[in-house]
Chains A and B, each alone.
Chain A
């Protein structure tokens, strides 16, 4: 059987063109259309992926999200660091709610599931490495070996297929059954929510701490949700560019929502301290938040290091893709914490949190695979257009 999928095919020329254009100031705004035009993506008829081993099932995606890291990949803004950790050609898509097509242990065929996309030792048929054995498969060292092609996650691996298709394969350990109460629209947010919960847990936020969340796209908003659900954080300030994001952030428990144009000044008013303006470069605070989350995939990390008080913590919740002056980390003795994917109870907790949280209306733009170019364009400008999550519904024509 052959099926329709969106396939990522690396082209150095396109990669460079995308990076050159979207990397410029002007290009940022136009990035949507440019990215769509230059994206190394194509609709293909490809054979259904075969089950690599027992313990695997075919999954039919119901909804499949477009994530910031996907956009980074398509616009060439992601770090080359990741390039050797994927295998070509692959089908993107790792935020998935789908239906299983095969019978598995404790997961009958036809189950509605969400995907934990990390491809650790167990999925690769290997004896678990120390991280995997400890339930921290996001830290797996074996993501380039085993019986699967290299790939950090489903959606970056040539052998598994991905969510932006009509069918892919997944290992039993990657799948979590979705309760009936959870709509597809809420379920497709479980994977990014699990990552947000993970990032929040990585930070060990002190009671009553002042928290800064930079960026109010999906990652930022779900981070606010996770902070309120799993920590005793004090005031949460959110830097949001767009009006709709600001409303959402408040709904989820943000204490203050700050415009991006004068974020440091406003933050200073809320947290105290001094603003310092160096002769060259951006302003910074002597003072600021106890813990900052960079939930952008751009300039947010610079803001985080300049807005966090001495001895504070900066959490990298979004995939970074810019150079950052680390002097404040040294001078302010900041702790930088990475937060990649999820582990342990993050996924089950995300499933139950998604049932209670006010996430209605987050998925407000649904595209067929054939309209991928529009979808990418929409997702790139989602904030400005007032959208939170743009998804594919691969069942649509």
Chain B
């Protein structure tokens, strides 16, 4: 039995606690009385995943069995979550591969021969052939790539189709092939409560025109949090779009969830609670830390990105998106949710080396912002772990480093836009259209491996709610110039950071450390 989530109160017996800090980690002694939020222990994985997939396809919720939806002469489009999920990447075979293989077998059995596979990458960069192959597996890749296994292209006007408008006037426009298929099978991995369900097709296959209705400052500021769909304006918009889609396209959604086994055996200490480290864990910690420090930076990055997670699969559920997703969410929360008693003056997070947009890439400063103030700050239900006007302290070096192929518009955004303003509304008003419609960025998104021009702005909006809520943001170990450009502060140690935070929260603040990854979601009562 896995133990539930847990809030530790730091006392004199508490050891130094593990803190992720980019492509490294450290042990940090937190002040006495600090609270530490741990997620529930990793749940056991399903023993026979293939059997679970078969069962899910044969007995879906809100849809007939998959085999009954398949027939010769039909157009079948299989869409799958892209490289941004899960984090870190999972050890192969990827669950998407396993699900897709089952779907293809069923399709073949029914004589379906018009099958296309599409990565639901929305405005993310295209997946490389190697990345596609890793996700769908060798066999599928060899049979379908390149003509029938593709990335979605949100700028291919010919191959987009407007489905209609929601009652709020939101345009729903998705991939034409998918829209004109008799059946869309969506294969997802729901890593956080934010993703999956109504989001899958409406976002993964959408165009900028359609995305701008929910990917904006106003919506993000009213998504409290965006990991709590009932209280997320963003999800309300997804729901409206998904409802419209349901009237027009037939989606068979297959959702999967993973447990919290995010680091491989040799780094198992990263999955554990510190006071339970055995001698082997302690030795491993020292060995890994030392090796990590010794290796040259480029190599270090490569090693981290090649380190795949030995996730266990905690659920495979299929059916109508609106019926499957609640089951999926339950599975996610079962693994991630920990109840916390009220917010504190200061929230602390250690930022890992990865976020959804730097897989096999570089975590640039904008991504650091979106990981910290976007993803991690929003890992809550009810209220943030920091009180309004409180201080967020993050651990990350925030180097001024960008991947020139993956993030070209990010560089311009950092150098030009942030030099002028860091206010999300001002940025949206003055710069969004420029970045979204710039032909060069569009060219690089379509033909190279670049994120869409507008993507860095979305990343900034992702932090808009936190920016409004917090009194100060401090990066321990952060590059001073880079953090300043973004409107934040840097401190060399936690002591310094707490000293800097004093003007906002006084000299004896309450402190909560949200210990993640593995992912912990706080239910703040």
List A residues at the B interface (Cβ < 8 Å): 262, 265-266, 268-269, 272-275
SS class of chain B's interface: helix, strand, loop or mixed?
helix
Given A266-B412, A274-B439, 18 more pairs with CB closer than 8 A: A262-B411, A262-B415, A265-B411, A265-B412, A265-B415, A266-B415, A266-B416, A268-B440, A269-B412, A269-B416, A269-B434, A269-B438, A272-B438, A272-B439, A272-B440, A273-B440, A274-B443, A275-B440
Show 21 A/B contacts (Cβ-Cβ < 8 Å), sorted by A.
A262-B411, A262-B415, A265-B411, A265-B412, A265-B415, A266-B412, A266-B415, A266-B416, A268-B440, A269-B412, A269-B416, A269-B434, A269-B438, A272-B438, A272-B439, A272-B440, A273-B440, A274-B439, A274-B440, A274-B443, A275-B440
Q: Mark B2-20, 1 if CB is under 8 A from A, else 0.
A: 0000000000000000000
Name the CB-closest residue of B to A256.
B416
- Residues of B in contact (CB 8 Å), total 9
Contacts of A265 on B, CB cut-off 8 Å? 411-412, 415
CA A269 – CA B412 in complex, angstroms? 8
Name the CB-closest residue of B to A272.
B439
| Distance to closest chain B CB from A188 (angstroms) | 35
CA A265 – CA B412 in complex, angstroms? 7
Q: Mark B158-197, 1 if CB is under 8 A from A, else 0.
A: 0000000000000000000000000000000000000000
Name the CB-closest residue of B to A269.
B412
List B residues at the A interface (Cβ < 8 Å): 411-412, 415-416, 434, 438-440, 443
CA A265 – CA B407 in complex, angstroms? 13
Number of A-B contacts (CB under 8 A): 21
Q: Which are the 6 A-B pairs with shortest beta-carbon distances?
A: A274-B440, A269-B412, A265-B412, A262-B415, A266-B416, A269-B416
Name the CB-closest residue of B to A274.
B440
CA A272 – CA B440 in complex, angstroms? 8
Name the CB-closest residue of A to B443.
A274
Contacts of B440 on A, CB cut-off 8 Å? 268, 272-275
Interface core residue of B411, B412, B440 (most chain A CB under 10 Å): B440
Name the CB-closest residue of A to B431.
A269
Name the CB-closest residue of A to B435.
A269
CA A273 – CA B443 in complex, angstroms? 11
CA A339 – CA B440 in complex, angstroms? 34
CA A262 – CA B416 in complex, angstroms? 10
CA A268 – CA B411 in complex, angstroms? 13
CA A273 – CA B444 in complex, angstroms? 12
| Distance to closest chain A CB from B204 (angstroms) | 28
Name the CB-closest residue of A to B415.
A262
CA A269 – CA B438 in complex, angstroms? 8
| Distance to closest chain A CB from B241 (angstroms) | 32
| Distance to closest chain A CB from B430 (angstroms) | 13
Contacts of A266 on B, CB cut-off 8 Å? 412, 415-416
CA A174 – CA B412 in complex, angstroms? 49
Interface core residue of A268, A269, A273, A275 (most chain B CB under 10 Å): A269
Name the CB-closest residue of B to A258.
B416
Name the CB-closest residue of A to B444.
A274
| Distance to closest chain B CB from A153 (angstroms) | 42
CA A318 – CA B42 in complex, angstroms? 69
| Distance to closest chain A CB from B285 (angstroms) | 41
Contacts of B415 on A, CB cut-off 8 Å? 262, 265-266
